[in-house]
Structure formats: structure tokens, C-alpha cells
């Protein structure tokens, strides 16, 4: 298994110290790659140079379906192989006309990415499981070939069993977002070091191995400690769980 950092995790450092700093941090902590959530106002060539400098793979990116076309130069130049829609409002899922528009624009984005050999998927938060629904399943059922990147933190926050959600997605699951949950007030609290919180990460990684998931993508929204320490200690635990 390989390990990436969702660079949204380091957004405040990028704002303060510049984009290069976060590539350096990911590399020094021992990660194999990164997942993008924006390109920091840099050109595809400039981002490509940073990946090369720090020996990182730009494995994936969070891009809204309607923004795929304008970002295709980044996807091509950086060799991005997976694109995930990072957000859909609950209202869209629950309003038939808006949902139909979502399906249409997602299909168009998928056709464009298919022509470039890039996989399109969907990244969940918690609203997809509102009131016992499973809109991740619905969307991936309704759009042929649409994959999923399950965020285990948000599944947990929605009172779903992350392992069961992984199993239910079967071949649709291509990546797992590894984000830990605090044992109390998980939605608002800082996320603990991976393996030191409420989610049974050993079982998450066991299931990921069973399903042949190649990449685990670390994300943290609120750090409980200094960022470099968090990246390194979490990677050490993830590697232990992956054995």
C-alpha cells in the first residue's frame, strides 16, 4: 500500500509559507504522494516541478465536475489518475431536478476524464447518510463506472460503520480517506493521531488490504499537535496497520 496526504490538510501552512513548504513536509514525513485540493495559483509546469523536486506522485485531486474541463491541463501534466467530486449539498440529493442536473454534469465530466484515462469518483462527507439514506450508493449506482473514495471519519460521524461501508461499496471503492475521530465530540474536536482515536483503524486497513486498495490518503482538518509530528506518527501507525 502507498500513502498520500490530502493537501487540504496543510492549507494554513501553504497560505503562510507558500505551496512548496507543504510538498517538502509530505516528502520529509515519508509519504509517497499527494492529493490536490487546488493548485495554489501555480501553473501545471510549476506544480510538476515541485512533485519532481520532492519525489512525490500527484495521485489524485478533488475537483467539482463542473470544473474538470478548466483543470484538464493540470490533470494531464501532473499525471493525476483519479479525480473525486469533493462535495454535494444534501439539498441536491433530495431535490429531483437538482439531482438530475448533478447526474448529467457528472456524466459529462466522466466522459471527458475517460478520454484521458482518468477515473472519476465521489468523496463523501456525512450528509450523504442523512436520515438513514445512502446517497453515495445511489450516485455510484446511477452513474455507470463512477467510483468512490470513502472518508471513514465522515462515515463514523454519520453513525455508520466505516468497515461495513467499505464492504458495501465493493469494486466501486478505489481509495480510502484515513481521517481519525476523537472519542468525544468527534465532529468538532481535533482529529487524533491515526490509530489513537475512536475508529478501529486496524480493521479499516485490514478491509482495505482485503479489497486491494492501493492508496490510503491521510486527511486532517484540525491538528492535535505540531503538523510534522502528526504526519510522521500517523504514517508510522498506518504502515503498522498495513502489515
Joined grid coordinates for residue 184: 468525544
d(CA 101, CA 111): 15
Please name every residue paired with 53 in a beta bridge, in sequence order, or none if there are none. none
d(CA 212, CA 199): 20
3-state secondary structure of 226: coil
Please identify which residue in the block is written with the cell numbers 476523537.
182
| CATH of residue 187 | 3.20.20.150
C-alpha closest to that of 34 among 16, 18, 10: 10
Q: What is the pLDDT of residue 237?
A: 98
Q: What is the pLDDT of residue 29?
A: 98
CB 65 within 8 A of CB 105: yes
Q: What is the 3-state secondary structure (H, E, C) of 176-189?
A: EEECCCCCCCCCCC
Q: What is the pLDDT of residue 203?
A: 97
Please name every residue paired with 85 in a beta bridge, in sequence order, or none if there are none. 122
Show the low-confidence residues of the chain (pLDDT under 50): none
Q: What is the pLDDT of residue 96?
A: 98
- Residue range of the domain that includes 67: 2-242
Q: Give the tens place of pLDDT for each residue, 98-150.
A: 999 999 999 999 999 999 999 999 999 999 999 999 999 999 999 999 999 99
How is residue 128 annotated by DSSP? G
Percentages (nearest 5) of helix, strand, coil residues in the chain: 50, 15, 30
Report the number of distinct structural domains present in the chain. 1
Taking residue 103's Cβ as centre, other Cβ atoms within 10 Å add up to 16
Amino acid at each position: 500500500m502507498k500513502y498520500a496526504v490530502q493537501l487540504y490538510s496543510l492549507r494554513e501552512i501553504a497560505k503562510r509559507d507558500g505551496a512548496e513548504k507543504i510538498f517538502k513536509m509530505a516528502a520529509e514525513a515519508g509519504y509517497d504522494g499527494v492529493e490536490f485540493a487546488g493548485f495554489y495559483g501555480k501553473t501545471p509546469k510549476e506544480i510538476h516541478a515541485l512533485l519532481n523536486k520532492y519525489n512525490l506522485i500527484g495521485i489524485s485531486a478533488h475537483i467539482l465536475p463542473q470544473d474538470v474541463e478548466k483543470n484538464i491541463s493540470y490533470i494531464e501534466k501532473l499525471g493525476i489518475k483519479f479525480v473525486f467530486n469533493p462535495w454535494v449539498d444534501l439539498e441536491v440529493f433530495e431535490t429531483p431536478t437538482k439531482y438530475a442536473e448533478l447526474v448529467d454534469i457528472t456524466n459529462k465530466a466522466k466522459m471527458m476524464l475517460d478520454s484521458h484515462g482518468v477515473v472519476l469518483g465521489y468523496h463523501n462527507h456525512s450528509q450523504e447518510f442523512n436520515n438513514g439514506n445512502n446517497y453515495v450508493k445511489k450516485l455510484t449506482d446511477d452513474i455507470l463506472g463512477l467510483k468512490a473514495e470513502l472518508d471513514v471519519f465522515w462515515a463514523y460521524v454519520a453513525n455508520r460503520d466505516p468497515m461495513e461501508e467499505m464492504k458495501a461499496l465493493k469494486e466501486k471503492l478505489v481509495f480510502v480517506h484515513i481521517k481519525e475521530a476523537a472519542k468525544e465530540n468527534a465532529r468538532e474536536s481535533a482529529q487524533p493521531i491515526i490509530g489513537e482515536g475512536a475508529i478501529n483503524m486496524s480493521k479499516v486497513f485490514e478491509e482495505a488490504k482485503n479489497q486491494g486498495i492501493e492508496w490510503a490518503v491521510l486527511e486532517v482538518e484540525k491538528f492535535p499537535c505540531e503538523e510534522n509530528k502528526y504526519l510522521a506518527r500517523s504514517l508510522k501507525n498506518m504502515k503498522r496497520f498495513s502489515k
